[in-house]
Structure formats: structure tokens, C-alpha cells
Structure 1
Amino acid sequence: MALEHPSARPRAASRHRTGTAPSGVIHVNVRHADQYTVVGNHLAQHRVLSLVAIGLALHIQSLPAGARVGIKALAERFPEGEVRIATALRELEAHGYLERSRVRTEHGRLVTRTVSYNRPRTPGGPVPDPPPPPPGRVPVPEPEPVAEAVAQAVAAPVAEPGPAAEAPPADPARQEAVDLLARLRADDPRLLLAERDVRQLAPGVTAWLDRGADPEAVRHALSGNLPADLRSPAAVIGYRLRAGIPPRMPTAPAPAPQARRPDPFQTCDGCERAFRAPAPGRCRDCPPPGGPTAANAA
């Protein structure tokens, strides 16, 4: 019979239940009753998005409707800086979690409208269904965030005209601006702009052309002396259009009236005196040929 050792120290009890993995992450979950945000694993475990983009998407989805989510506002809130935040926002746009567009308010001011999607949108198709839950788990429907419902109501899709509808005639000035922006890639391959960027930048080019700027001069002003580490060509061109817009061409003054030259000297056919006249003939003192004086002399 084995002897017991009553003085031996008892084994410390584990805080985790039996069967817990000996390594890796261990979850200690507490159910939230308020102040929480539901995030899908398609975002939290995304295989392509950077960690900054995933965290930024989570932060934006947790904000109330109407919160400021511009680059400068986010840079004031987080230490990553404007460059990394701008890159993360473009990642979210490319993968369907974010949509940014420029709209004009009722007072005529241009503002940026941001729409956040808690499920990514796929171009040209419906939103993909989430993967099926593991066996033995009952799927719980995710509540629709209030911010997303408001954003979807604001960004309601506009019905496109049918095949029979005639397209409105293109504005020649705007078409010239669109063509100028599309040809910038011939000057520098890095200036390959997306169609959405061309539509947003075209009004700025039109303003330059309306002020009398030559199209070739506008092209050189937008494509010349580009930075070596060009990351956002649309942002650089937009800044140049806003900061370097030329003044309006002044109205040309009316030409000054030229002084009338005096008539040349002519020799009078009657008295042979010199006088000024546009053509040869008689002076004022001599009567015309065949007049009363000539009749009396006859």
C-alpha cells in the first residue's frame, strides 16, 4: 500500500475548463448588453485587407450616423497619420466596405459623403452570403446597425435609363476636359486615372478652360514635375487644379482710333493753284466745268 503525503502542496486549480488548447489564443468572453458593434468574420479575418484597414473599418462601423470620418478627422483621432489612413480607406473602397462620393449640399457646397457597409458589396453582383455555421451551432441573425440603415437610405441607387431612352447630348467643354484628363497617361504612365476620378476632376479642368487657359498649358501644368513617390495621382491633380487655377483673362481694350491722314495736294484744273483733295479736279474757288462762268465767256 502506497504511503500518502499529507504535507504535499495541493495542485493549483486551472482557471480554464478541461479540454482547453495548451497554446494559442484562449477566449474569455463576456456577453455585452449595450455599447457593442456586430462585426462579421469576413472583415475580422479578411485575408487581403491590412490590419490598419480592418481596424479602421471596425471603428467606422461603430460610429453613429453623421460622424466625421475624413482623413484629417481620423488622423487627429489615431496616431497612424494621414498617409496610412488614406491607404486604408482606399483598401476598404476596393473591397466593397466603403463608398465615398462628392455631393453638393442645398447651399451649393461640395462635401464628401461616406457610406459604410457591414457586408462588402461585390461589383456587378449581390452581396455574397456568409459561410454556413459550424455543426452544432445555431446561427443568430445580426442586427442591422442604425448607421448603415441611414446611409443606405441616403445613398439610394438611381435607376438607370432603359435601352430606349436617349442619352443627353454631351457638353463639348466637359468632354474636352474628360479627354484631356484621359490623355495624361501618355505623358506619365502613373497618371492612369479611374473613370470615377476623371468625372470628379473634369469640372476643375473646365474651370481652367473657361478662364482662357490653353489645353496644352493645362496638360503640362497637371503632368509636369510629379513627385517621385506618386501614390495618389487623382489627389495630386485635384490639388493642382484647386491651388493653381489661373485668373480670368482680362477683356481686350478697344483699339484706339487712328488719326486720319490729310488728303494729298492736287493742281486745280481751272486756276492751277495747289489744293488738297482725294482726287484731281477743281478747287473750291473755281466753278465746275460747264458752269455759269464758262457760259458767259463763250
Structure 2
Amino acid sequence: MAFQNPSAPLRHASRVPAPTPPSGVVHVNSRHTSRYTVVGNHLAQHRGLTLVAIGLAVHIQSLPAGARIGIKCLTARFPEGEARIASALRELEAAGYLERTRERLPSGRVVTRTVSYNQPGAAPHRPAPRPADRAPRPRKEPRTRPAPQRERAPLPAPRRPDPVGARTAHRILAELRRDDPRLLLSEADVARLTPAVHAWLEREAPPDAVRRTLAADLPPGLRNPAALLAHRLTASLPPPLPASAPAPPRPDPLQTCDACERAFRAPHPGRCRDCRSTLMEAT
């Protein structure tokens, strides 16, 4: 029996080129020896899943056990928004690649347990039983309630339709990448954020000031520019300008008295007050 030396160098792949197909894709494959994930063609070529769902399933299968894959974590990692991420997770759950269950911890906090299957139809996951508490729990022990999650405030919207303002808002968002390449937005993100920028313009915010506010002081490692802009458009919305105060009444123009030729203020030419008084006393 031949003895295999584990320290011997690996045999190089054959350099004989494979026949090139007349059309279509040509594969150039290299052997992975570390940091790789095996994915079945039933997932990679699934006809019932969207590309977002397939890519998300591959990403989840490549993560180590215990990694967080909540919607907010995935939204911070990828450019897709929360709605597309949540829809992709529901697709994978319906296709059998994910299992999500709600579980209440002994502290009273409710958490979501997520199990990833690299092959749908495998035996369902059952959590391991917890060891029993050594001391009995008091009957009247107060249980803490889970802190309510803060709902995200809706994006601002204009009060009145204005095609010119909508076009200006669309142009501001589309041209942000000229200020910083990291602010490159998709067409869908521009359409979603345009009403919020329109609301700023409706409150008489100058377009240049809106652009500078959105593009200033970007955090390092920005991965989701659309989420950052949505937060700034909502949190920094300027108040409407107060109504202009009415102008003070203008004084009457100067007139020349017909009797004494003195100047006096009156809405129409005539006599001054003294001359009118003298005339009334004479009559």
C-alpha cells in the first residue's frame, strides 16, 4: 500500500485547456482551500426565488454560528432597504431555507431564533433543553417586560403638489454623488426620497443648503447611503418660515396749504389744520 505524505505539495491542475463552448459563459475555476462555502445548485439555480433571496441565502450560509442576521443588521450590511430584505427572508422561509421562531427568555425578553438549512427538507431544528434552575423561583417574582421598539418616523412629504419642486428635489438627490461618490443612489431610492427633499424645498430651504446638509460629515465605512439620507431628511427637517409681518402704514404725503402755503400731511390737497380752524371761526 502506498503511503501518502500529507506535507507533500498538491498536484497542479492540468494546464490542458478545456474546449471552449461556441457561446455562453466560460468558467475559470480555482480550487479553494480555505474560507469557502458549499452551495447546492438547488439554491443557486432556484427558479422560484428572486436574486436578492438567493444572494441573501448564500450570505447567511457563509456566516459562522451565532452571527446576527436581523433585518437591521442586514440592511446596514447591504444597500437593499428593509422592505426588500424582509421580503427575501420571507421567500427563504417559505422555500424551507430558513426557520424563524419567537422565544421568550427566562428574563421575559422575547427573541427570534433563526435556523439556516443548506438543504430544504432536513430534520427540523429543536432547541436543546436548558438545565433546570438550582433554586426554585419565587412565585411572585416580578417579570420585566420587553422594551417596546421605537417605530421609525415616516419620511416628510410636501403639502401641495408642485412639479417644479419635485423635479428640483429629484435632481438634488441624483447629483449627490458629485459631492461624494459614496452617495450613489439607486433609481428606486431617489424616487422614494424625492418627496422628503420636496418637503424641505416647500419650507423655503435653498437647494444648495439642502444638498450641503445631506452630503456633510459622512460617517466612515458608509454602506447604506439611502438609510442615512432618510434619517437626516426626517430628523433635520426645518420648520416652516413664520408668516411675514404686515408692513406699517405709510404716512400721508406732504401737501401745500392753499391759504398760508405751509407744508402739511394730508391725503388730498387743501388747507392746513390752522387755516381750516380760522375759516370755521370766521364763518
What is the TM-score when the length of structure 2 is the normalising length? 0.43
Q: Which has the larger radius of gyration?
A: 1
What is the TM-score when the length of structure 1 is the normalising length? 0.41
Q: With a CA cutoff of 8 Å and minimum separation of 6, indicate the structure with the bigger relative contact order.
A: 2
